[in-house]
A and B are shown apart, each in its own frame.
Chain A
Amino acid sequence: EAQVTQNPRYLITVTGKKLTVTCSQNMNHEYMSWYRQDPGLGLRQIYYSMNVEVTDKGDVPEGYKVSRKEKRNFPLILESPSPNQTSLYFCASSLGLAGVYEQYFGPGTRLTVT
């Protein structure tokens, strides 16, 4: 089954404790991205990757890091999480550029930073 998976689905952590949210897709998609969803703001793009070793900032990259060492995986790293990063996070993948192709979204990761 074609899908995007994220782990963990729920995470409660404390300020400053580094964490990684994993994202994996099995569709051989070149393009992957991370979004955060906050009430009243919709989804905002954090980072995207157009291929292995090619990543770039989205709309709200501050406080996040990503890497794309393999085509299927695109982890999101929070080196020193802060309470303002409490949010619902979505990973997405598409065949090509997000502006042209339909994006497939993962189930979401709800992160709470206390």
Chain B
Amino acid sequence: AQKVTQAQTEISVVEKEDVTLDCVYETRDTTYYLFWYKQPPSGELVFLIRRNSFDEQNEISGRYSWNFQKSTSSFNFTITASQVVDSAVYFCAHTYNNNDMRFGAGTRLTVKP
């Protein structure tokens, strides 16, 4: 079955530490998309990034960076110099057939001051 695994259920760090959230996916498709969403304590879901399967370039956006490796079916997310406002649940998601979207179980990140 095509699924997304976020092995880290909870992570706790102290402010200014770097932290990496792991995401491993299973797929039979050659063309697919990967996403990361953030769910802060207020509950809404916020889009962070979309990456298609043909683009393995790493991406950096401010303190956020993503490492996509097709060889290991991983799409990991790193927050550099974490801040308290980064505390949230982070979801990795994968789509196949351009529609069926599968989310991981989420990783709850707590950043302590």
Closest to A108 in B: B43
Known: A99-B33, A99-B95, A99-B96. A43 touches B43 (CB 8 A): no
0/1 interface trace, chain B 19-45, chain A, CB 8 Å (1 if under): 000000000000011010000000111
Q: Is the CB of B47 within 8 A of A103?
A: yes
A-side contacts of B100, CB under 8 Å: 45, 58-59, 99
Count the A-B residue pairs with Cβ separation under 8 angstroms: how many?
58
B-side contacts of A42, CB under 8 Å: 4, 6, 91, 103-106
Closest to A31 in B: B99
Size of the B side of the interface (Cβ < 8 Å), in residues, is 25
Chain A: minimal CB distance from B102 (Å): 7
B97 within 8 Å of A by Cβ?
A: yes
Closest to B104 in A: A42
Q: Is the CB of B47 within 8 A of A102?
A: yes
- CB contacts under 8 Å to B, within A40-74, are 40-45, 48, 50, 58-59
Closest to A107 in B: B44
Beyond A58-B100, A105-B45, 15 additional pairs, beta carbon < 8 A: A35-B103, A40-B105, A42-B6, A42-B103, A43-B103, A44-B103, A92-B45, A98-B95, A98-B99, A99-B33, A99-B95, A99-B96, A100-B33, A103-B101, A108-B43
Interface residues of A (CB under 8 A from B): 33, 35, 40-45, 48, 50, 58-59, 88, 90, 92, 97-105, 107-108
